[in-house]
Amino acid sequence: MNNMTLKDWREKEFLARTANEPDSAGAGNSKSGASTDVAALTAGVVAVVVSMFVAPGPYDFTGLIVAMTLGSVIWGYVWHTARSVRQSWAVSAVCGLMALPIAGYVIEELLKSGDDAPFDISMETSSRVPAWCLGVTWLFVTSGIFVLDRSKWKAKL
């Protein structure tokens, strides 16, 4: 006999239902249909964000735009899919990583001297943003998104 609890059954039924629901683009999320590969998409977002940190220099407006665009991609293609706890943490960590260029730009602008214009293109070669600010930003954003994500899926089960 199957010793499945009611909670396990509800979770299994929910995942089965959401796996076949069409996404916003009309494509099904089932493995047999044409669907977006969430893991590949998320890995691509990580690759782009990490590549932004390779070039030295201050955080700039372009990084802010790129991070916001990648956030839109995550929201449009990944956010609506059902996830396990580990997958929620992974998506949350990616969102935390995406928040770094945004926070870096805001902090960079706050730390600029008073005589610089906010969108001035300068010849600076290093950032003024302390590494601990980025670490705290990542921790808060990742934890916040994780709590939000888990409460979203818990409410639907």
Question: One digit per residue, pLDDT tens: the chain, 157 residues?
Answer: 456 665 665 666 656 655 544 444 444 444 434 456 777 777 777 777 777 766 667 888 888 888 888 888 888 888 888 888 898 898 899 899 889 989 999 998 888 865 555 555 555 667 888 889 999 999 999 999 999 999 887 766 5
pLDDT of res. 3: 62
25 domain-assigned: no
Would the CA dihedral through 110, 115, 118, 122 be positive or negative?
Answer: negative
149 domain-assigned: yes
151 domain-assigned: yes
7 domain-assigned: no
111 domain-assigned: yes
pLDDT of res. 63: 84
pLDDT of res. 144: 96
94 domain-assigned: yes
Structurally, how many domains does the chain consist of? Answer: 1
Question: What's the pTM?
Answer: 0.65
Q: Which domain holds residue 73?
A: 35-156
Amino acid letter at 145? Answer: I
148 domain-assigned: yes
pLDDT of res. 1: 45
b (16+ CB within 10 A) / e for 99-123: bbbbbbbebbbeebeeeeeeeeeee
73 domain-assigned: yes
